[in-house]
A = this chain, B = another copy of it.
Amino acid sequence: MEDLRQHLAAVEDLHAASELLGWDQNTMMPPRGGAARAESLATLGRVTHELFVSDETSRLLEAAEQALGDADAGSDDASLLRVTRRHLDKARRVPSRLQAERARAASVGQEAWVAAREHSDFSEFAPYLTRNLELAREYVDCFDGFDCAYDVLLDDFEPGARSRQVTTLFAELRDELVPLIAQLREHEGAVRDSCLHGSFEIGKQRALARGLVALMGYEPDSWRMDDAVHPFAAGIGGGDVRITSRWDPSFLGSGIYAAMHECGHGLYEAGVGDELRRTPLGHGESLGIHESQSRLWENMVGRGRPFCNVLAPRIGELFLGSPDGLDPDELYAAVNRVAPSLIRVEADEATYGLHVVLRFELEQELIEGRLAVADLPEAWNSRVQEYFGLRVPDDASGALQDVHWAAGLIGYFPTYALGNLIAGQLWARAHEDLADLDDHIAAGELAPLREWLRDRVHRHGAKFRTDELLSQVVGGPIAVAPFVDYLKAKLGAVYGTSL
């Protein structure tokens, strides 16, 4: 077991190096370093993959499996063997060459995406997306036993999830959201967010965000916060968690919430038990669980009424010259205003789900060849018209807005909406377990919630499957109702109507 642990630790060390190279590429790297970085990431990915799928891993794993036997199924060791076996059986099906090409194409694709997005020209980016899709199909062909191509890709981000199940959950969600949004449209104008628009010096926004994430658990000794075109979080290793945000000098409602969102991811990475570090269990489990953490902190805490008691005076102090300058109720309404919009990461909680459904549909069509890459902007734009009633003015606000496909991440988007659903379940449960939760949050005391999450979710890392973990914490599988109930209660209060 110890030999296996050491061997797997080396694999994790190389993963950490890749993670850092990726972080650097998106925050620090000079623009012309992209080509060399792509090569470095490709080689590092290939070498890591080769080390993991080596006969050595198989040999050590088999020996450890035999030594452990059926004893102690709930132990860390047993989980480690189960998870490693699952990863190894998957990884051994993928040739190193393909792994390296996907990494290289992802790196080059991100560079191309940054430029194409700047020029708002999808055609510049199309060849890179085509390449990523080709490689994704080659990847799919390495597997059997799945119902469809998309399931293979989805399984990498949400282990065990299947598109049939996601389709069902999303249908239920859509059937709740569409009438809800229609009903709110009748109250258009009842909620204004003018207090979020204006002139907000970026330095002050950064300082505000630093204060908020400090309440959440950001520690300067083991965290960093930087700027990035597309905000993300990275767990580099024990004692090294990095988050990013981006700042709009004329809108306050985006940068600080992106920072809280990424800090939610960061807390998950930071909270993994030390005994699981440098093992395959040492990071968050599925992306759905990961996203549940970020969305819970961003929306349920950050946009909740109690936290507005903390946030409003800080905004007032920084930007209006007085802590009383902004009414917490006005802030609460503003940050929860529902308005169909073009950009997913800036969408309100009610319409957010539809952004994900749109991408879930389009990427299924792309991977199955039912939609040509060249036709993507048109398909995107017409579906945005259909779902949101909005015209897409340019590709930067349309099919070029997200980095995921550029980075070869196909099958990733559903995890965002699943994360919202899981967050709804955890949020309801936290309120059952922590009687004074809202009072604590209103006083800026976020430690009780963080520690509850750490105990129930974070410390386990990838020890449990999503369904196992949810069963332990909330007593059942992913469900739509808690999220929708939460949303209706909040928006009903904000819009002063029964939903």
The interface bits of chain A over 18-42 (1 if a CB of B lies within 8 angstroms of the residue's CB, else 0) are 0011001000111111111101101
Interface-located stretch among A73-81, A168-176, A237-245, A440-448: A237-245
Choose one: B9, B47, B223; the contact of A39 (CB below 8 Å): B9
Within A220-261, which residues are at the interface with B (CB < 8 Å)?
Answer: 220-224, 236-241
Check A221–B31 contact: CB distance below 8 A.
Answer: yes
When distances are taken between beta carbons in the complex, the residues of chain B under 8 Å from A43 are: 9-10, 13-14, 17
When distances are taken between beta carbons in the complex, the residues of chain B under 8 Å from A17 are: 17, 21, 40, 43-44
Which B-chain residue is minimally distant from A27 (CB atoms)? B28
When distances are taken between beta carbons in the complex, the residues of chain B under 8 Å from A278 are: 36, 39
Q: Does A428 contact B (CB under 8 A)?
A: no
Q: Does A16 contact B (CB under 8 A)?
A: yes
Check A236–B14 contact: CB distance below 8 A.
Answer: no
**CB contact under 8 A between A239 and B40, given known A47-B10, A47-B47:** no
Check A224–B30 contact: CB distance below 8 A.
Answer: yes
Nearest Cβ on chain B to A234's Cβ, whole angstroms? 11
Task: Among A37, A40, A237, find the residue whose CB has the most chain B CB atoms closer than 10 A.
Answer: A40
**CB contact under 8 A between A30 and B220, given known A13-B40, A43-B14:** yes
When distances are taken between beta carbons in the complex, the residues of chain B under 8 Å from A36 are: 16, 236-240, 277-278
Q: By the criterion of a CB under 8 Å from any partner CB, how many residues of chain A are at the interface? A: 40
Within A33-72, which residues are at the interface with B (CB < 8 Å)?
Answer: 33-37, 39-40, 42-44, 46-47, 51
Nearest Cβ on chain B to A56's Cβ, whole angstroms? 12
Which B-chain residue is minimally distant from A220 (CB atoms)? B30
When distances are taken between beta carbons in the complex, the residues of chain B under 8 Å from A239 are: 30-36
CB<8 Å pairs between A and B, sample of 21: A13-B39, A14-B40, A14-B43, A14-B44, A16-B40, A17-B43, A20-B21, A24-B24, A30-B223, A30-B224, A32-B221, A32-B239, A33-B222, A33-B236, A33-B237, A33-B238, A33-B239, A33-B240, A36-B237, A37-B236, A47-B47
